[in-house]
């Protein structure tokens, strides 16, 4: 029987929480309503919250970077995802210098195909802006890639302001959108050089050489470019109060800017960098962890609906890989895991602490990313016709995050020992149960999702 009837759950959407049954036929939701009956396998979900499958629109699986490759590929990364209720990831197909966008997209299809336990889509990260790349953009849209990422920092990836402006103008023609990693490369490069010359080589020097104003300046410049191009844009992994103020200011000036933040910028601060190397290096990511006042400003952004999505920037490395920077913090591969712990953290420290509502949690994890990245209403909503991607969430009970229960291959979680409330109990991916009670029950059934234009 391919029909499933989920009975008695409370369905969460950005508009409210309501009791209703859900009828699934094959891969799709076919009905949502009170007292549904059907010849179907009936599952009692009384007392549970039901969310549209979560979307993590910022992961880096199987990424070659810093002379190594991320600990999680699409096998372990997407297992980690479904254990965290994530039914779709949007990873970054990344163009290396000299490559075409088709090369990059093909590479990422090869990395993900047959290995993914959740559905997946790709942004295109552009590192080499050339005339032939411009001509490739229509082909990207035809293949379902409608969002692009640029970096204002990292030698291998950095684009200058002119290239970002040209890209934005070009993407406007097709209804595409650009997300940007905003950090001022010139100042940070010099601060790092000066720190190393003074013998300051430890992880604690990582945040000191990437001060908050270097993010804010880059956000300001990126948004000035967007204004000049009259194009919509996204500030990804926003980490500072100052950067957030730039977003608000640009909106006042009429710029169509969307903002993404991540749990690490909401919940952790730079005091972790004082720990011994193996612990401190786990938290080395860019932008770095900030101050408590920054955490507070970003929670405020979520509370007031001034941020749009919470993603993870899952980019994991083992402690062994991090040791490449034991005597020079600039050589520590940047990034941390997060795809598995995002929802429980947002529930425990957002909803249960009254910083955001359940409805907002649903907007930030499901509906907004689906809309912003052109997957709505196939994804991100529980209604007839949508993919039956569902998270059955137990709102009660207490637990603790520990690495030994996580599926990432990096061997640690930045949230080790953190107390939690509730948890992801079951996950359906296009009508199939893929996760139940701590176990992955169906692996590698993820499919590529072609995306349309953004609509948020
Ligand atoms: O440290 C991080 N965030 N690494 C991943 C790449 C990026 O900048 O998003
Ligand atoms: Zn980035
Ligand atoms: Zn990233």
Atom of ligand 1 nearest to the CA of 315: 5
Q: How far is the CA of 38 from the centre of ligand 2 (A)?
A: 47
> For 51-85, how does the pLDDT look when each residue is reduced to its tens digit (9 = 90+)?
999 999 999 999 999 999 999 999 999 999 999 99
User: Which contiguous run of DSSP H or E holds residue 429?
Assistant: strand 419-429
Q: Are residues 33 and 156 in the same domain?
A: no
Quote the pTM value.
Answer: 0.98
What is residue 2's predicted lDDT score, i.e. its pLDDT? 85
CA distance 195 to 212: 17
pLDDT confidence bin for 444, thresholds 50/70/90: very high
Split into its structural domains, the chain has a count of 2
> How far from the centroid of its chain's Cα atoms is residue 426's Cα?
21
Residue 390 counted as domain residue: yes
CB neighbours of residue 337 within 10 Å: 31
Q: How far is the CA of 66 from the centre of ligand 1 (A)?
A: 11
Q: Are residues 308 and 357 in the same domain?
A: yes
What is residue 1's predicted lDDT score, i.e. its pLDDT? 57
What are 260's two structure tokens?
């993404």
Domain containing residue 116: CATH number = 3.20.20.140
- Spell out which residues have Cβ within 5 A of ligand 3, the ion: 313
Residue 451 counted as domain residue: no
To test the ligand 1 pocket, which listed residue (93, 159, 237, 315) has its Cβ within 8 A of the most ligand atoms?
Answer: 315
Q: How far is the CA of 286 from the centre of ligand 1 (A)?
A: 5
Q: How far is the CA of 235 from the centre of ligand 2 (A)?
A: 10
Residue 456 counted as domain residue: no
To test the ligand 1 pocket, which listed residue (334, 336, 337, 414) has its Cβ within 8 A of the most ligand atoms?
Answer: 334
Q: Are residues 338 and 433 in the same domain?
A: no
Q: How far is the CA of 93 from the centre of ligand 2 (A)?
A: 13
Q: Are residues 202 and 60 in the same domain?
A: yes
CA distance 121 to 393: 24
Q: How far is the CA of 5 from the centre of ligand 1 (A)?
A: 41
Ligand 1 pocket (Cβ < 6 Å) reads 60, 181, 285-286, 313, 315, 334-335
Q: Are residues 157 and 294 in the same domain?
A: yes
Q: Which of 68, 79, 58, 59 is nearest to 318 (CA)?
A: 68
Q: Are residues 209 and 350 in the same domain?
A: yes
Q: Are residues 353 and 404 in the same domain?
A: no
To test the ligand 1 pocket, which listed residue (148, 281, 313, 321) has its Cβ within 8 A of the most ligand atoms?
Answer: 313
Region 300-311: mean pLDDT is 98
Report DSSP state, residue 366.
I
What are 297's two structure tokens?
């400003």
| Residue nearest atom 2 of ligand 1, based on CA coordinates | 335
- Ligand with the closest atom to the CA of 91: 3
CB neighbours of residue 455 within 10 Å: 13
CA distance 321 to 333: 7
Domain containing residue 434: CATH number = 2.30.40.10
> For 361-376, how does the pLDDT look when each residue is reduced to its tens digit (9 = 90+)?
999 999 999 999 999 9
DSSP 302-349: HHTT---EE---B----HHHHGGGTT-GGGSPP-B--TTTHHHHHIII
Region 232-249: mean pLDDT is 98
Atom of ligand 1 nearest to the CA of 335: 1
Q: Are residues 164 and 89 in the same domain?
A: yes
Q: How far is the CA of 433 from the centre of ligand 1 (A)?
A: 32
> For 390-416, how does the pLDDT look when each residue is reduced to its tens digit (9 = 90+)?
999 999 999 999 999 999 999 999 999
Q: Are residues 117 and 138 in the same domain?
A: yes
- Ligand with the closest atom to the CA of 335: 1
> For 338-358, how does the pLDDT look when each residue is reduced to its tens digit (9 = 90+)?
999 999 999 999 999 999 999
Q: Are residues 91 and 223 in the same domain?
A: yes
The residues, ordered by sequence, that sit 6+ positions from 159 with a Cβ below 8 Å of its Cβ are: 126, 127, 129, 150, 151, 152, 167
Atom of ligand 1 nearest to the CA of 236: 9
- Ligand with the closest atom to the CA of 316: 1
Q: Are residues 12 and 66 in the same domain?
A: no
**Contact yes or no for 59/339 (Cβ under 8 A):** yes
**What is the domain range of residue 230?**
55-372
Would you call 54 helix, strand, or coil by DSSP? Answer: strand
Atom of ligand 1 nearest to the CA of 237: 9
Would you call 45 helix, strand, or coil by DSSP? Answer: coil
Q: Are residues 73 and 214 in the same domain?
A: yes
Residue 365 counted as domain residue: yes
Strands (E), 167-271: 177-181, 233-235, 257-261
Residue 453 counted as domain residue: no
What is residue 274's predicted lDDT score, i.e. its pLDDT? 97
Q: How far is the CA of 295 from the centre of ligand 3 (A)?
A: 19
Output the CA–CA distances (angstroms, integers) from residue 121 to 91, 139, 381, 452, in the order listed. 6, 15, 17, 11
CA distance 184 to 429: 40
């Amino acid at each position: 029987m391919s029909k499933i009837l989920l009975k008695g759950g409370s369905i969460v959407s950005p508009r409210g929480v309501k009791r209703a049954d859900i009828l699934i036929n094959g891969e799709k939701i076919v009905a949502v309503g009170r007292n549904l009956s059907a010849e179907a396998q009936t599952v009692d979900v009384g007392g549970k919250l039901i969310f549209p499958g979560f979307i993590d629109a910022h992961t880096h699986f199987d990424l070659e970077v810093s002379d190594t490759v991320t600990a999680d590929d699409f096998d372990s990364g997407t297992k980690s995802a479904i254990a965290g209720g994530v039914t779709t990831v949007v990873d970054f197909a990344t163009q290396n210098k000299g490559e075409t966008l088709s090369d990059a997209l093909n590479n990422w299809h090869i990395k993900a195909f047959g290995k993914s336990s959740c559905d997946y889509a790709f942004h295109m990260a552009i590192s080499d802006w050339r005339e032939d790349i411009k001509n490739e953009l229509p082909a990207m849209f035809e293949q379902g890639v409608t969002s692009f990422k640029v970096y204002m920092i990292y030698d291998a990836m950095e684009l200058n302001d002119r290239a970002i402006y040209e890209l934005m103008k070009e993407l406007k023609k097709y209804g595409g959108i650009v997300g940007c990693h905003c950090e001022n490369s010139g100042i940070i490069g010099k601060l790092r050089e000066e720190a190393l010359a003074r013998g300051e080589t430890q992880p604690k020097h990582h945040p000191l050489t990437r001060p908050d104003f270097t993010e804010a300046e880059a956000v300001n410049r990126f948004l000035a470019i967007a204004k000049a191009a009259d194009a919509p844009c996204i500030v990804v992994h926003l980490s500072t109060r100052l950067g957030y103020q730039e977003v608000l200011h640009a909106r006042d000036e009429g710029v169509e800017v969307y903002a993404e933040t991540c749990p690490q910028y909401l919940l952790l601060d730079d005091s972790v960098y004082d720990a011994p190397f193996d612990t401190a290096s786990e938290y080395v990511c860019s932008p770095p962890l900030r101050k408590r006042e920054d955490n507070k400003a970003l929670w405020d952004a979520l509370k007031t609906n001034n941020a749009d999505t919470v993603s993870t920037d899952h980019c994991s490395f083992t402690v062994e890989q991090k040791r490449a920077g034991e005597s020079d913090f600039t050589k520590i591969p940047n990034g941390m895991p997060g795809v598995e712990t995002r929802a429980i953290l947002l529930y425990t420290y957002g909803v249960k602490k009254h910083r955001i509502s359940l409805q907002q949690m649903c907007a930030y994890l499901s509906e907004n990313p689906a809309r912003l990245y052109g997957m709505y209403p196939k994804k991100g909503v529980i209604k007839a016709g949508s993919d039956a991607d569902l998270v059955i969430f137990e709102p009660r009970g207490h637990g603790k995050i520990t690495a030994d229960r996580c599926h990432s291959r990096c061997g640690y979680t930045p949230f080790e020992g953190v107390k939690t409330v509730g948890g992801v109990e079951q996950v359906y991916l296009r009508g199939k149960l893929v996760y139940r009670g701590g176990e992955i029950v169906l692996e590698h059934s993820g499919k590529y999702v072609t995306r349309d234009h953004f609509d948020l």
